[in-house]
Amino acid sequence: MGFLSHIDNHIIALVVGTLMLFGSFATINSRSASKFDHDFALILLITGIVSFGFGFKLIDFSQVKELWP
């Protein structure tokens, strides 16, 4: 299990973000997708981009927590 020791939160966020973006693009390009499916794909797209931002260390959640009252 030596290779698993290199996996941290940022790598997991990149993998999850990639899956979210693939899912959103697949749903958007589907011919049989309904309005609800397109709305859900937009949510997946936004959360995938946020997950990428965390994975590439562009977003620091400790600073985001300070914004809450």
Residue 32's pLDDT band (boundaries 50, 70, 90)? very high
pTM: 0.81
- Three-state secondary structure of 26-52: HHHHCCCCCHHHHHHHHHHHHHHHHHH
Q: What is the pLDDT of residue 48?
A: 95
The tally of domains found in the chain comes to: 1
User: Which domain, by its residues, includes 12?
Assistant: 3-66
